[in-house]
Amino acid sequence: MTARFVRPVVLLALAAAGCNPPGKPAPKTIPDRPDALVDFNVLYATHCAGCHGADGTLGPAPPLNDPLFLRIVPDAELVKVLTDGRPGTPMAPFAQAKGGPLTAAQVKVLADGLKTKWGAPPTSAAPDVPAYALTGKGDVENGRMAFAMACASCHGDKGQGGKTGDQPVGAINDPAYLALSSNQVLRRYVITGRADLGMPNYAGKTGRPHNFSALTEQDVADLTALLNSWRSPATK
Amino acid sequence: MKRIITSVGNWFEARLRLKPSVMPLLEHPIPAGAAGPKGWWYVFGSASMTLLFLQIATGIGLALVYVPSADQAYQSLEHLNYRQPFGWFLRSVHYWSGSGMVVMVVIHMTQVFLHGAYKYPRELTWVFGVCLLLLTLGMAFTGQVLRWDADAYWGVGVGASMAGRVPVGGPAVVELLLGGPTIGASTLSRFFALHVFIIPGLLLALVGGHLWLVMTRGISEPPVPGQPVDPKTYDAKYHEELKKGKPFLGDAMTKDGLFSAVVVLVVVALAAVIGPKGPNGLPDPTLTGANPRPDWPFLWLFGLLSLSPAGLETFVMLAFPVVLVIGLLLVPFISNRGERAPSRRPVAVLIVLVGGTTLAVLTYEGMTSPWSPRMSGWSGDPVPVAMVKRSSPLELQGAAVFQLKDCRNCHALDGLGGKRGPDLSSVGARLTRDQLIDQINNGTPGGGNMPAYGKHVRPAEMDAMVAFLVSLRPPGQPPARIATVPAPKK
């Protein structure tokens, strides 16, 4: 009689002591202070995903999950842009020193994490990639020729926009668009394209004439100079 | 086995002589109706008391480890949660049992109100009950403060600011509560003393008084329509009723015990499955990411205060609770006679329905708090991919500006983002370009909900952002236009 009652109770008590009920709090994975957080994924989701997209693509801002971009961009540049932002563009400064939310250590985690997470080792087959940094050597007239060859089929001869198949392509000569874009990002787009939105990179042939050959360092500088020449005088 | 227990019991009884004083209490007659199936209405008070004892037991356990000092309280909670064996379970049971106590007290009160059990001669029992409700809420609030996290810190801050608005005596009340003009080293000690000594002392004393009144004036018989309470004849009638009554020790006590056992089991199950509450973020005022919310018994008040217009704020804060409490205290004096059955008291039923619905809605509003901007929306909520895919370069820049200017903290896109302003996923079909520019520049007319952003947006940013907003339309729908202006020719 007693055994019949005691046995289940003892078993239940043993079970309760041995197993972890779902309510038992798991040790914290997130530190107490937000400035002690150094997990790339959490930092990215909190501070970057809004503009650069949840997985680094298909956001309104330039994609960061782009192996070509991560291959050419210097580490120091990533740190600098994260710290200071890009004045005049929607890229805000994120370092606490500049009024942002992140410590220098967190900036470093993000800058390093971009390359470890989304960067790819350079493939030997890839032709010479133009350098990331801006040069002052572009020529607007040569740029026009390069534009006709590399860009006009989608963006129209003057960058006024056009169509690819049945997809409309927006204008890139719009003064407001250019006012919010640094020459650096224009150069970057010329080199990397926007794979997530179907824009080919400096060597891509999609939508380009059959005799198109990869853009050279000089072509990229010329195209950037051309785009810069379209700015309204006030923002040049 | 049984023989041994009986003989040990007899040995003690021969020396203590408890039976003559305890047995009459246990065997006091209660109305026959309350011993039948309707007796299930009478179980909520004893369940509240059972949870009170559970609170005392778990509370003593917690007090053995908890350090009521501002710089160590948080660490001692983490110690309980992660290192002390079963410490988390103790915290969990204490939280759920406390929540259960608030629930039981409110149900008990509602039942007494609906059954008119507060009428003659039990007015004072009701008054004690109202005080017990307030003390229970006081325990809930001070208990939330002892969970020394961001919610606790800001909860004290809000409570003190409210107290500070009391005319004349405000600053003194704040000083007394916080142990200084601001939250400081002695604040937590004050709340610890309140939670562990002062309020429990009052609570136990009043429970004693409440029970004394229940014993001396008896519990009310289940209400019968058509048998109104008349103070002149009630005592005699109740006396007659008790002659047919049943002893409390028996059916009624079994029901009480059974129900209390179920309640405790539910509390323990919730504690094991859902676990303890918090502690959440550090109680550090320099951490601006805090998003403090009061515990659930106060969410309705949080909702009410947030939703009341600025002009009424002080009234809702100070006068309204006083009016509410006075109203509750006056209930048995406004109607201490007449019908008791809910079927004959439509106003009472209505008060319960309207009051309950109001509390539920305000609690929901307090829980979701759509008026609070979502401060991380601008950098954390991605722009919906479909919008990015169909945007032109200018519109993309506009979307980035939209995020940069914190619009997202109040305005959702595809339901993601703040809820303070309207969701803008299809705003292009509602507002024209000019209307959008006007709205962003000047905000809501008359200093309304939306601030004016004209000074914070450069022309190019405005161009891009409005281009993006105009593009936000359901597929195939043209941009909004003014009805009196002819449509543009294609």
Q: Which of B77, B388, B389, B414 to mutate to test the interface with A (most CBs of A within 10 A)?
A: B388
| Chain A residues near residue B468 by CB distance under 8 angstroms | 60
Identify which of A58, A90, A176 has the shortest CB distance to residue B394. A176
A49 at interface of B, judged by CB pairs closer than 8 A: yes
| Segment A162-185, tens digit of pLDDT | 888 778 888 999 999 999 999 999
- Residue B190: pLDDT band by 50, 70, 90 thresholds? very high
Joined together, the tokens standing for residue B47 give 């369940």
CB contact under 8 A, A50 and B381: yes
CA–CA distances in Å: residue B422 to residues A8, B75, B196, B427, B479: 57, 42, 46, 9, 18
Structure tokens belonging to residue B323:
């009016």
Give the pLDDT mean for B87-106.
Answer: 97
Give the span between the Cα atoms of B147 and B255, in whole angstroms.
Answer: 35
- Residue A176 C-alpha, separation from nearest chain B C-alpha, in angstroms: 4
Q: Give all domains of chain B, ordered by start, each with its CATH number.
A: 2-283+291-368 (1.20.810.10), 377-470 (1.10.760.10)
Q: Does A58 touch chain B (CB under 8 A)?
A: yes
Per residue, the 3-state secondary structure of A96-149, as one string, reads HHHCCCECHHHHHHHHHHHHHHHCCCCCCCCCCCCCCCCCCCCCHHHHHHHHHH
pLDDT digits (tens, 9 = 90+) for A191-213: 999 999 999 999 898 889 888 98
Residues of chain B positioned with their CB less than 8 A from the CB of A168: 392
Give me the interface pTM, i.e. the ipTM: 0.90
pLDDT band at B176 (very low <50, low <70, confident <90, very high): very high
Distance CA B350, CA B347 (A): 5
| pLDDT score at B490 | 58
- What pLDDT does A11 receive? 66
What value does the CA radius of gyration of chain A take, rounded to a whole number of Å?
26
Asked whether residue A123 carries a pLDDT value surpassing 70, the answer given is: no
Nearest to A78 by CA among A31, A111, A125: A111
Closest residue of chain A to B409, computed from CA coordinates: A50
Tell me the chain A residues in contact with residue B279 when contact means C-beta distances shorter than 8 Å. Answer: none
Is the minimum CB–CB distance between B384 and chain A shorter than 8 Å?
no
Q: Quick check: A193 contacting B, CB < 8 Å? A: no
Which domains does chain A carry?
Answer: 35-118 (1.10.760.10), 140-235 (1.10.760)
The yes-or-no verdict on residue B353 having pLDDT over 80 is: yes
Q: Of A21, A50, A175, which has the smallest distance from its Cβ to B380's Cβ?
A: A50
Mean pLDDT of B41-62: 97
Local confidence band at A135 (pLDDT 50, 70, 90 cut-offs):
confident
Q: What is the pLDDT of residue A122?
A: 65
**Residues on chain A touching B270 (C-beta within 8 angstroms):** 23
Contact B382 A54 (CB under 8 A): yes
pLDDT-derived band of residue A15, with 50, 70 and 90 as boundaries? low
CB nearest A170 (choices: B81, B270, B393): B393
Q: What is the reported pLDDT for B446?
A: 77
Q: What are the b/e assignments for B192-224, b being 16+ CB within 10 Å?
A: bebbbeebbeebeebbebbbebbeebbbbbbbe
A25·B276 Cβ contact <8 A: yes
Does B376 sit within 8 Å of A58, measured CB to CB?
A: no
> DSSP characters for B156-176?
HHHHHHHHHTSTTTHHHHHHH
Are the beta carbons of A22 and B272 separated by less than 8 Å?
yes
Instruction: Give the residue from A49, A99, A108 showing the smallest Cα distance to A80.
Output: A108
pLDDT grade, residue A17 (50/70/90)?
Answer: low
Q: Do A48 and B379 touch (CB under 8 A)?
A: yes
Question: Inter-chain contact B282–A51, Cβ cutoff 8 Å?
Answer: no
Q: Does residue B48 have a pLDDT over 60?
A: yes
Q: Which chain B residue shows the shortest CA-CA distance from A91?
A: B404
B349: which strand partners?
none
Decide if A62 contacts A50 (C-beta within 8 A): no
